[in-house]
Amino acid sequence: MNHFLDIHKTDPAHLRGIIDNAADMKKARLGRPKGALDDDQPLKDHMVALIFEKPSTRTRVSFDVGVRQMGGQTMVLSGTDMQLGHGETIADTARVLSRYVDLIMIRTFEEQTLLELAEYATVPVINGLTDRTHPCQIMADILTFEEKHGPIKGKKVVWSGDGNNVCASFIHAAGQFGFDLTFTGPQTLDPEEEFVNLARSQGSTITIERDPVKAAEGADLIVTDTWVSMHDPQSARERRHNQLYPYQVNEKLMSHANSDALFMHCLPAHRNEEATNAVMDGPQSVVFDEAENRLHAQKAVMRWCLEK
């Protein structure tokens, strides 16, 4: 069963195939109306369940459009529709859904919900986001980087800010795709040591550097994310702002990276907090290319899951 649960749980050769397939499908759609079906329709006669315990813009639209472009149909379910793990066990939900659909994508809070769903489902399950990781986003980011600068292997990526779920998946990707990653942020928000050690064991250099200027030197890519998650209280916002303001990505910080370095942010952004408008809208920013590439990367993930 080809579940896509995390980047470090997927074979590097398969990851490379997904990225290459995504690039090919994107090229094949050039100049076509956005609503047009792909010439190749691997999801024809397939039904995909999209489960959202967390609200979403890019994940919902990109998966929904991707399924439709490949000839399939979607069933979008919210946490209130299902009360996942409350009115019925996750295991039973997995067993029931598997009788109705061909593929399940879930965007949820607890990683255990994803893992239990995958354990008991008899159809592939895709991680659309958990509080711990966000692999689909990073697949889109790899695709975006390689469109602009070629293979990411051997490059230097800098993560500035909170060592959150997106950062975790970037560290997983460093080990699997063979690039180096420097984390710069406060010690209280360091990425998980387990993930850092795993990437290091695979030969990637994972560096923790408290000085953001030093971290940015020689960077090929600088990445950040919102300082406050959508479900965090106001008190957390104020505390995080004070902790993370020194790690804001601004023009000064970008000037210490390589002259052709890219800037990424998975969106939504709190402009002029984690990154300034000048960087977000500047010539090195590829944030909207990233957003578009969620569509193409996830189409390739779905094809891989269904062995299409």
- Helix or strand run (H / E) with residue 237: helix 234-244
**What phi-psi label fits residue 96: left (phi over 0), alpha (psi between -120 and 50 degrees) or beta?**
alpha
DSSP H or E run through 103:
strand 103-107
Q: Could you tell me what percentage of the chain is helix, strand and coil, using 3-state DSSP and rounding each to the nearest 5?
A: 45, 15, 35
Q: Which of 3, 265, 294, 296 is catalytic?
A: 294
220 labelled catalytic: no
Catalytic annotation on 266?
yes
H-run or E-run covering 295: helix 287-305
- Cβ neighbourhood burial of 201 (10 Å; 0-12, 13-18, 19+): exposed
Active site residue 99: no
* DSSP for residue 35: T
- Which pair of tokens denotes residue 5? 């649960």
Residue 81 CA, distance from chain mean position = 25
Give bridge partners of residue 181 from the DSSP assignment: 157, 206
Phi/psi of residue 248, each to 5°?
A: -60, 140
What tokens does 106 get?
Answer: 């879930």
86 is catalytic: no
- Annotation marks residue 294 as catalytic: yes
How far is the C-alpha of 155 from the C-alpha of 174, rounded, in Å? 9
Task: Indicate if 137 belongs to the active site.
Answer: yes
Contact indicator for 38, 71 with CB cutoff of 8 Å:
yes
In whole angstroms, give the CA distance from residue 218 to residue 188. 25
Active-site entry in 3, 8, 134, 240: 134
Say which of 3, 107, 296, 303 is annotated catalytic: 107
Q: Which residue has the tokens 């965090």?
A: 232
Catalytic residue (one of 137, 176, 284, 298)? 137
Residues annotated as part of the active site = 107, 134, 137, 225, 266, 294
